[in-house]
Amino acid sequence: MAKLERRNSTNAHNSTYILGIDIGTTSVKVCLLNTQTREVVVKNVKDTLSSTPSELGVSGDKQDVSKIYSALHSCISRISKELLRRVIHISVCGQMHGVVYWKQEEGWTRNSKDQVEVGSGVSSLYTWQDGRCTPDYLSTLPKPNSHLTLNSGYGCATTFWFLHNRTEYIKQFDRFGTIMDFIVAMILGLEFPVMADQNAASFGYFDSINMNWNKDLLQEAGFSTNLLPQVVRAGISAGNLVKDWFDVPAGTPVSAAMGDLQCSVKSTLETPETDAVVNVSTSAQMAFVQPEGFQPKLISNENLHKPVEYFPYFEDRYIAVAASMTGGNALAAFIKMIQQWVIQLGVNVTQSKIWETALAAGFEEKNEPSIDILPTIFGERHSPEQKGSAVNINQGNLGLGEVTRSVCRGIIANLAAMMPPEMLKQRGITRIVGSGACLIRNQVLQREIQEQYRLPVIFEDEGNACIGAALAVSDKFYPTVIKKK
């Protein structure tokens, strides 16, 4: 559990704050942003989360919504009541694509202390890592009238899967959204969820240019379009708190939940015209902001399986994104494999010790590795059946340092294959800003980014999605002459 870090702020007694929340894949994080100075006065407050294979097989991936809300509860409880009483806006973001189902009036309850809790009429969160929608199955679904493709783990794809495979299960619910949409609806007591365009675009069957769902396509395919949330532009409020939430006063506006990708970019990007952002956490992304006026093309046979897609950003702009399924999760699988081996050999070594030793050995490996590892064990959205591989193995290149560095190199090489260095240079990108927990802690990955992209790289350890969510709301509602450094 991270310690709460608080910075002294001038005129603290007159300060007001934005509460930033990020419901991530492996952790929940919160922060407080001073609306006058844009200073992050509370950060590093987080709790960890975990996924489990679903009851439908190892290709499924789900998380317990009650545990997610409990982690959020734990984070906010560690912020002082005095600061929470000065919150004037709540800004939420989180893991994109995944879906939660709930039944109106059973999704949440209030306990004896008048605190809102997750109710009995809520499904698990089926995350973006859910792999039950195979390429063959996806090919049977209607092609979206959108510039974005449909992939396994997307809310609408998962919903189709349930409609076709567990019809009675899905019919018990009458609402759906991302995990963040559910939490916003819960704390506001909304009758219908409100979704930001960033998350709607990540759900499938949404036209972000015209701001509407592909309702006709979905209805013809038997999809329950009454489930579809209302969509608003990122940064717009979904409503105001009817009652105090923790010690945040009633009447406080709450943003419609935004995408963690866009908010991560927002928190790290300093010069949108010349900077790109690379984020390596559970997965990995390389992204840059498109010029004003850019509009993506609708899906065609030519761009159906392109590794770079264009997602809504802020201020009616788009970001070009190479969103890789291969990131810290591949390294975690490598470390877990080592631990399983040593346990079978009768040795008890903690995962933290293996991480420490492996990364140190990888960083000390100065020579170019001769083993070529492609760690795409989770596939990629543009190539879902792709598997990992190791090439050119010999008796001299199986040391821990060389293999660790090769896995790290493979993660970045895979990202560079999706969004090549030449693409950044053609856009006029002159610098890369790196963020994400896995990247900031891993000097081997940092070195590989510098070597493979051949551009100046800086690493921003404060850049995270909850800060970006707070900054996005600050830009829209609380502009100030003091700019973020």
Q: What is the DSSP string of 256-288?
A: PPEEHHHHHHHHH-S-TTTEEEEEESSSEEEEE
Return the pLDDT at 54.
47
- Tell me the C-alpha distance between 283 and 418, whole Å: 14
Which domains, and CATH codes, for the chain? 5-256 (3.30.420.40), 270-480 (3.30.420.40)
Question: Percentage of the chain with pLDDT > 90?
Answer: 74
- 444-457 burial by CB neighbour count: b if 16+ within 10 A, else e? bbbbbbeebbeeeb
Return the pLDDT at 463.
62
- Tell me the C-alpha distance between 231 and 396, whole Å: 57
For residues 345-359, give the mean pLDDT.
95
For residues 205-219, give the mean pLDDT.
94
Spatial contact of 180 and 193, defined as CB atoms under 8 Å apart: no
Return the pLDDT at 67.
94
- Better pLDDT: 462 or 195: 195
pLDDT band at 11 (very low <50, low <70, confident <90, very high): low
- Tell me the C-alpha distance between 75 and 246, whole Å: 11
- Summarised one tens digit per residue, pLDDT across range 228-242 is 999 999 999 999 999
143: pLDDT strictly greater than 60: yes
Spatial contact of 242 and 72, defined as CB atoms under 8 Å apart: no
For residues 195-208, give the mean pLDDT.
96
The whole-model pTM stands at 0.86
- Better pLDDT: 321 or 9: 321
pLDDT band at 103 (very low <50, low <70, confident <90, very high): very high
Spatial contact of 195 and 231, defined as CB atoms under 8 Å apart: yes
Return the pLDDT at 9.
43
Closest by Cα among 174, 321, 190, 193 to 257: 193
For residues 404-425, give the mean pLDDT.
96
Return the pLDDT at 6.
42
256: pLDDT strictly greater than 90: yes
Quickly list H helices, 195-309. 197-203, 215-220, 260-268
Average pLDDT, the chain: 90
Surface-to-core class of residue 243, CB atoms within 10 Å of its CB (0-12 exposed, 13-18 middle, 19+ buried): middle
Return the pLDDT at 485.
42
For residues 390-413, give the mean pLDDT.
95
68: pLDDT strictly greater than 60: yes
pLDDT band at 405 (very low <50, low <70, confident <90, very high): very high
- Tell me the C-alpha distance between 29 and 76, whole Å: 9
Return the pLDDT at 5.
42
57: pLDDT strictly greater than 70: no
Spatial contact of 37 and 65, defined as CB atoms under 8 Å apart: no
474: pLDDT strictly greater than 50: yes
- Summarised one tens digit per residue, pLDDT across range 160-194 is 999 999 999 999 999 999 999 999 999 999 999 99
73: pLDDT strictly greater than 60: yes
- Tell me the C-alpha distance between 53 and 358, whole Å: 27
- Tell me the C-alpha distance between 209 and 377, whole Å: 34
412: pLDDT strictly greater than 70: yes
The helix/strand count (H/E) of the chain reads as 16, 27
Return the pLDDT at 353.
96
Return the pLDDT at 464.
83
For residues 477-484, give the mean pLDDT.
63
77: pLDDT strictly greater than 70: yes
Closest by Cα among 196, 417, 234 to 322: 417
DSSP 385-420: T---EEES--TTS-SHHHHHHHHHHHHHHHHHHHS-
Surface-to-core class of residue 74, CB atoms within 10 Å of its CB (0-12 exposed, 13-18 middle, 19+ buried): middle
- Better pLDDT: 62 or 55: 62
For residues 109-123, give the mean pLDDT.
89
For residues 306-320, give the mean pLDDT.
93
Q: What are phi and psi of 354, to 5 degrees?
A: -65, -45
Spatial contact of 310 and 329, defined as CB atoms under 8 Å apart: no
Spatial contact of 138 and 150, defined as CB atoms under 8 Å apart: yes
